[in-house]
Amino acid sequence: MKYPTFFLVLLLLVTISILPSCEEVPPNIILEETEMPEDTVSNNAASIDSIRSDTTFIAANIAEAQAKVVVMEEFSGVRCINCPEGHEQAQALLDAYPDRFATLTIHAGFLSAPYPETQTDYVLSVGETLYDFLGTEAVPAASIDRITFDGENAPTILVPSKWAARVTQQLDVTTPVNVYLYYDYNEGTRNLSVYVQMQYTQAVSTEHYLSVALSESHIIDAQLIPEEGGKVQTDYEHNHVLRALLTPATGQVLGASKELGRVIVQTFDFNIPQDWNSSYIEIVAFVHENGSNKQILQGAKIHL
């Protein structure tokens, strides 16, 4: 039996209409994450390009856990006759562990009021907040990773001769999070951009916070020293002085869940005042808790 041509065309159209429709499927594209740098103190311009904005993601490749970088917050004051001893202890620890120890000198408490001959008042409201937050009773005192060690009533230790043993103890602690620091700095505008990249090498359930500080060293100014029964030395060299916090005093909460491989990037902009010597500025960042346990889990530092 032969069918007319138009019946054949009609049959073909009906057949096509009842076949399942097919949608175009795009190719499966996998974006490879930028490889994490190996050290915490290099300013790698190529890596900066990938982290210039706040972001979070899960890394395809899990980095190895970093060696612990211990953070010490030293509370001091220009009218404190024993504080130079604390400064010497801090410098000795930096000399012993240059890549694994970071320190901030925070002027706070009643012995921190400037002298008439003082060039700059180093007391900051955020420093006073930290003084109270860490239960500091007097200066000199130091908080080492914000741990309340056995035999202490607070995270701050009043006797400088005890600091070194506690720092050495903390060097053996493992950390669940890696911290990497980068920056851009324009000398003409004095605009500083800081990039903090964190990667979790272990899953954690506790809430974490990030603190980012700027310190300045080689500041020549007045300080009470113990020589000659106590005198004001007007050309004393102050180092690692806290000059600003780029985060709230007690840290900025890291809201993302912290499963294995979680990467969190936080960025900060700051204009460095003209009276600061940018050649001696250091950035210190650390991840910590804020509850009854205030411990610092990992720190990082980088010089401009």
CATH of the domain at 50: 2.60.40.10
Tell me the pLDDT tens digit for each residue of 135-187.
Answer: 999 999 999 999 999 999 999 999 999 999 999 999 999 999 999 999 999 99
Please say if the pLDDT value at position 7 is more than 90. no
114 vs 232: CA distance, rounded Å: 11
Long-range contacts of 253-256 (CB under 8 A, 24+ apart): 253/207, 253/208, 253/209, 254/198, 254/207, 254/208, 254/209, 254/210, 254/287, 256/56
Residue 236: inside a domain, yes or no? yes
Residue 182: inside a domain, yes or no? yes
What is the model's pLDDT at position 48?
Answer: 52
Residue 133: domain span: 45-303
Please, which pLDDT band fits residue 26 given cuts at 50, 70 and 90? Answer: very low
Nearest to residue 137, comparing CAs of 156, 116, 162?
Answer: 156
Please say if the pLDDT value at position 10 is more than 90. no
143 vs 73: CA distance, rounded Å: 5
What is the model's pLDDT at position 108?
Answer: 98
What is the model's pLDDT at position 123?
Answer: 98
Please, which pLDDT band fits residue 297 given cuts at 50, 70 and 90? Answer: very high
How many CB atoms sit inside 10 A of residue 33's CB? 15
Residue 122: inside a domain, yes or no? yes
142 vs 160: CA distance, rounded Å: 8
Please say if the pLDDT value at position 124 is more than 70. yes
Nearest to residue 208, comparing CAs of 288, 296, 299, 293?
Answer: 288
Residue 6: inside a domain, yes or no? no
Tell me the pLDDT tens digit for each residue of 159-169.
Answer: 999 999 999 99
Residue 250: inside a domain, yes or no? yes
Gyration radius of the chain's alpha carbons: 28
Residue 13: inside a domain, yes or no? no
What is the model's pLDDT at position 276?
Answer: 97
Cβ-contact 69, 298 below 8 angstroms:
yes
Residue 2: inside a domain, yes or no? no
Q: How many domains does the chain have?
A: 1
Least trusted range by pLDDT, from 39-53, 60-74, 115-129, 283-297:
39-53
220 vs 238: CA distance, rounded Å: 6
CA distances, 237 to each of 107, 161, 195, 233 (Å)? 14, 21, 30, 9
Residue 12: inside a domain, yes or no? no
Please say if the pLDDT value at position 14 is more than 70. no
The number of residues making up the chain comes to 304
What is the model's pLDDT at position 50?
Answer: 60
Q: Mean per-residue pLDDT for 96-115?
A: 97
Which residue has better confidence, 166 or 42? 166
pTM score? 0.84
Label each residue of the chain as H, E or C: CCCCHHHHHHHHHHHHHHCCCCCCCCCCCCCCCCCCCCCCCCCCHHHHCCCCCCEEEECCCCCCCCCCCEEEEEEECCCCCCHHHHHHHHHHHHHHCCCCEEEEEEECCHHHCCCCCCCCCCECHHHHHHHHHCCCCCCCEEEECCCCCCCCCCCEECCHHHHHHHHHHHCCCCCCEEEEEEEEEECCCCEEEEEEEEEECCCECCCEEEEEEEEECCEEEEEEECHHHCEEEEEEEECCEEEEECCCCCCEEECCCECCCEEEEEEEEEECCCCCCHHHEEEEEEEECCCCCCCEEEEEEEEC
Identify the bridge partners of residue 284 per DSSP, sorted by sequence position. 213, 301
Nearest to residue 245, comparing CAs of 195, 291, 211, 277?
Answer: 211
Tell me the pLDDT tens digit for each residue of 63-93.
Answer: 999 999 999 999 999 999 999 999 999 999 9
Q: Mean per-residue pLDDT for 123-141?
A: 97
Please, which pLDDT band fits residue 1 given cuts at 50, 70 and 90? Answer: very low
Six-digit token pair at 262?
């979680």
Tell me the pLDDT tens digit for each residue of 206-265.
Answer: 999 999 999 999 999 999 999 999 999 999 999 999 999 999 999 999 999 999 999 999
Please say if the pLDDT value at position 129 is more than 70. yes
